[in-house]
Structure 1
Amino acid sequence: MAAAAAAAAAHVLVFPAPGQGHINCMMHFAAGLVGAGLHVTFLHTDHSLRRLGGAAAAVSPRLRFMSIPDGLPDDHPRAVGDIVELLESLRTNGSVPYRSLLASLVRAGDGGGFPPVTCVVADGSMPFAADVAEEIGVPSLVFRTASACSVLAYLSVHRLFELGEVPFPADGDLDEPVRGVPGMESFLRRRDLPGNFRNCTENQNDPIVQMLIEVTAHNRRARAVVLNTAASMEGPAFAHVAPRMRDVFAIGPLHAMFPVPAAAGSLWRADDGCMAWLDGQPDRSVVYVSLGSLTVISLEQFTEFLHGLVAAGYPFLWVLRPDMVGASQSAAALSEAVAAAEKNNKARVVGWAPQRDVLGHRAVGCFVTHAGWNSTLEAAGEGVPMVCWPFFADQQINSRFVGAVWGTGLDMKDVCDAAVVERMVREAMESGEIRASAQALARQVRQDVADGGSSAAEFERLVGFIKELSMMDRSCKLNSSYSIAE
């Protein structure tokens, strides 16, 4: 009875950063909390919630969606180059309405069956969200949507500067080994560090690098850090991260543990017709191509990819977002190339696809990907070989793990050439060794998320942790030892 009461009293506000990849995995996380008997308020920005529309309908009476303004004009593009501006606007302009909403939810719930909010799980890239919660007496955790290996690299930034491994010259050898990230000394290269490390100076003044340094320092002070990962994939990296945090939970891949409808957190409307197209293709015959929700390429890069895919000779399904090819490029040339590719039913080009369904389809033989962490986990869970062409942030290090650590695919970073695309696609489709490694990892991941597996056990521990926080006396919350300043 006491355990049931604790679950009923626990009400978690989950607050992701307003990006597709962040919303995706935190939506699965919210579904897991609801499945464990907790109430969840999922907090979007107004802009994201409008884009979701009817897809944001609650799937449980214990899950609801709310939103706050992000402080930017409605017509602001909120594109990949605007990430720092968006997060800063949320911090400076969104924190006041966030504080007001959270305070009201803490005082009395809403009278509609939701108890008062007792805990906040905030995106680790938004430190203010955790800080505001603690300031008004609500215990908070942070959720990092990136891989453990990339978090470890961020934790090692100061060490990299001390060793003189960054910054490195723009014309320097990108294959020079990097020794300053523990556990990765034998395989990490300059080109595998987050792309912005190439732009930083002695003063570490690249805005993305500076944000990563500040965010990671904040995470170390948080009550706990949640990572969407599995011991079978990132055990060594996780072992180096854990001692640097107050507590840390490895609870993934969340999409495999707590499935939700594909549209539930999607800011893009998927072309469901692509599934019928896949139904008409032979087993393991199709190359699936998706570079995620933020990657932008030039018309020249698009052309190299297209020629390489056609030359490889396999049917392909390509996700080409409307905003993906640079706006200054020729729309007519792009349309002509797409039409040519789709002749004879050898290709299908769509604006967005239900990716988890696609990767689980029998017809898909390999995945050409930007190596975003969600995509990497989804491919790993299905045992699909990958060809990785990373764009930014943690994708560079993720792709190195795919090629050099797990052996589940090929790392094509820093190259956009039709001949290389053709060669790597063929190898990923035809290599028995890569496919065997991918399928072995998938079997291990399934064990991790099954009852009794490492991720399932960690999630159970996390739910207990949240329930314990939720039962704390309010005076204890207000006098928490959590320190906002270093």
Structure 2
Amino acid sequence: MEQTHVPHVLFLPFPAQGHIKPMLNLAELLSHEGFQVTFVNSDHNHDRLLHNIDISSFYNRFPKFQFRSIPDGLTPDHPRFGLYVIDLLCSTRAVSKPAFRELLISLKEEKGPFQLPTCIIADGIMCFAIDVAEEFEIPTITFRTFSAHCLWTYFHLSKLIEEGEVPFPDENLEKPISCIPGLENVLRRRDLPGICRFEKADDPVLQFFVKETSAFTRASGLILNTFNEIEAPMITRLGSFFNKIYPIGPLHALKSRINDNSSSSTSSNGNLWKEDKKCLKWLDSQPSKSVLYVSFGSVIKLTREQILEFWHGLINCGNSFLWVLRSDLIVGDASFGHLLMKLERDTKERGLIVSWAPQEHVLLHPAIGGFFTHSGWNSTLESIVAGVPMICWPKTGDQQVNSRCVSDVWNIGFDMKDICDRSMVEKLVRELMDNRRDQFMASSDKLSRLACDSIKEGGSSCINLEKLIQDIKSMSS
């Protein structure tokens, strides 16, 4: 009779907070099930992540868990996103791939508890992991950390280029996209992923994603941080590329089930930024549904002019607001500190500005009535779970698709893409928080119930997680 060993799962996220967070949530869930887990960050993010964790308490709770790191090929002070994202994409292929191979060799030779993994769960844009895993005869499962709608769109990038839809002129952004089955009446040019806005079809960033999307279909399965109740048609269509699909989201809510009796220090929220929790006490003093939460995520950069347009719109709308302004929000602007001090001073009567917030807790706070967001997928899911309607201002990546779904598929908010104007901010905040509040709250409450039901015992995501667990266990036999 074959002996079953404890599965050892190695996670390899793309080195960005929006990718690390959902993969770390899943890693903790599998560790809670008794699996051995190795979580591999870039050196750059490894130190930032561990700085925000009580690591001894974390390891006491998850004794079969270890954090490891490999280089991303860039110096610590090298920009990693925006105009420089191609540097990160190329360096992970050139530098991280051989480093990852060396890590697997070291695990194979170690005499400790963490030996060669049973299975590798790799980010969908870290497909070099599949190449390396095949050398070691280790099965891989790919994890795409955005929506099924967006992934289905990515699978049609080549078709969009062939049809002449990409690249496109900025003056014709309203043209409907008709060559993506199932989304013919949903997407316009302006709703396509941010990578479609490059000027040339052979742009290296666009071509990188075309090739990676094709490559990760070699994995034995696909994990998605979503749930059937809101994306079933797109999940079904993705079945044409994968025999096994595991929609197991919202992962942050699924993970919260194992954290009910644990202090926050024994878990990780995947943050690379230190949270300023004073805002929760401030929210306690605010009336129910009266505060607009404003955050544009961990990567997006703004200009001084954009910040001022948003600020004037928020002040003019008359609602209280909590605004996250990261210290690196404007690159290379030495005067940002002075601007921030001025905004904080002039905001005191109306709201609060913090450098980073405990977002999941903020969105669940009864004082929050709306979310002004960049439409990253983690933020979108967290808002859906909390039942908070959104104003979406996407800028890159999957955010354009997500914001369109929020406004035109799920009807839980406004899509303000490609507009940065104080009068529009004021208008939409008034609509969201006052004039159409009941309408948006009703649709948001409905989606929130569906999300929460999906992670209950017997819910769709809970069942899919159990399928994933059993499939990984079968790999270790």
Please indicate, yes or no, whether the TM-score normalized by the shorter chain is above 0.5: yes
| Matched-pair contact (CA < 8 Å) for 1:341–1:347 | no
Q: Distance in 2 between matches of 1:339 and 1:167?
A: 41
Partner of 2:225: 228
| Matched-pair contact (CA < 8 Å) for 1:159–1:180 | yes
Q: Distance in 2 between matches of 1:457 and 1:331?
A: 48
Q: Cα RMSD over matched residues?
A: 1.8
Partner of 1:369: 373
Cα displacement (A) at 1:338:
1.3
Q: Distance in 2 between matches of 1:326 and 1:421?
A: 24
Task: Letter of the 2:43 partner, please give it.
Answer: D
434, 449, 472: which one aligns with 1:466: 472
1:408 aligns with 2:405: no
Using a 3 Å threshold, how does the CA distance of structure 1 residues 78 and 160 change in structure 2: closer, same or farther?
Answer: closer
Cα displacement (A) at 1:461:
0.8
Task: Letter of the 1:312 partner, please give it.
Answer: C
String of CA shifts for 1:68-121, please: whole Å, max 9, x gaps.
12221122232333222113212211222211111222344x52x445421111
3-state SS, counterpart of residue 433 of structure 1? helix
1:312 aligns with 2:317: yes
| Structure 1 stretch displaced more, 321-330 or 67-76 | 321-330
Task: Letter of the 2:375 partner, please give it.
Answer: A
TM-score (norm 1): 0.91
Using a 3 Å threshold, how does the CA distance of structure 1 residues 98 and 399 change in structure 2: closer, same or farther?
Answer: same
| Structure 1 stretch displaced more, 348-357 or 87-96 | 87-96
| Matched-pair contact (CA < 8 Å) for 1:448–1:455 | yes
Cα displacement (A) at 1:263:
5.0
Q: Distance in 1 between matches of 2:92 and 2:166?
A: 30
Partner of 2:443: 437
Q: Distance in 2 between matches of 1:37 and 1:296?
A: 40
25, 37, 40: which one aligns with 1:40: 37
Partner of 2:173: 174
Partner of 1:144: 144
Cα displacement (A) at 1:157:
1.5
Task: Letter of the 1:449 partner, please give it.
Answer: I
Partner of 2:50: 53
String of CA shifts for 1:265-290, please: whole Å, max 9, x gaps.
21100101111111111111111000
| Matched-pair contact (CA < 8 Å) for 1:308–1:421 | yes
Using a 3 Å threshold, how does the CA distance of structure 1 residues 403 and 155 change in structure 2: closer, same or farther?
Answer: same
| Matched-pair contact (CA < 8 Å) for 1:220–1:246 | no
1:157-306 pair list within 5 angstroms: 157-171=157-171, 173-201=172-200, 204-259=201-256, 261=264, 263-306=268-311
Q: Distance in 2 between matches of 1:336 and 1:457?
A: 49
Cα displacement (A) at 1:195:
2.1
1:341 aligns with 2:346: yes
Q: Distance in 2 between matches of 1:418 and 1:393?
A: 24
3-state SS, counterpart of residue 463 of structure 2? helix
Task: Letter of the 1:137 partner, please give it.
Answer: E
Partner of 2:132: 132
| Matched-pair contact (CA < 8 Å) for 2:293–2:370 | yes
Partner of 1:453: 459
| Structure 1 stretch displaced more, 160-169 or 141-150 | 160-169
1:360 aligns with 2:364: yes
Q: Distance in 2 between matches of 1:300 and 1:55?
A: 32
Cα displacement (A) at 1:38:
1.1
| Matched-pair contact (CA < 8 Å) for 1:48–1:267 | yes
Q: Distance in 1 between matches of 2:86 and 2:291?
A: 37
Q: Distance in 2 between matches of 1:329 and 1:411?
A: 32
Q: Distance in 1 between matches of 2:421 and 2:270?
A: 34
Structure 2 alignment gaps of length 5 or more: none
Identity %: 43
Paired residues, number? 462
Partner of 2:421: 417
Using a 3 Å threshold, how does the CA distance of structure 1 residues 332 and 271 change in structure 2: closer, same or farther?
Answer: closer
3-state SS, counterpart of residue 277 of structure 1? helix
Cα displacement (A) at 1:332:
5.7
String of CA shifts for 1:130-155, please: whole Å, max 9, x gaps.
22112122111111111111110010
Q: Distance in 2 between matches of 1:148 and 1:99?
A: 30
| Matched-pair contact (CA < 8 Å) for 1:146–1:373 | yes
String of CA shifts for 1:331-386, please: whole Å, max 9, x gaps.
26513541343322x21111111100101111111000000000000000110000
Using a 3 Å threshold, how does the CA distance of structure 1 residues 135 and 200 change in structure 2: closer, same or farther?
Answer: farther
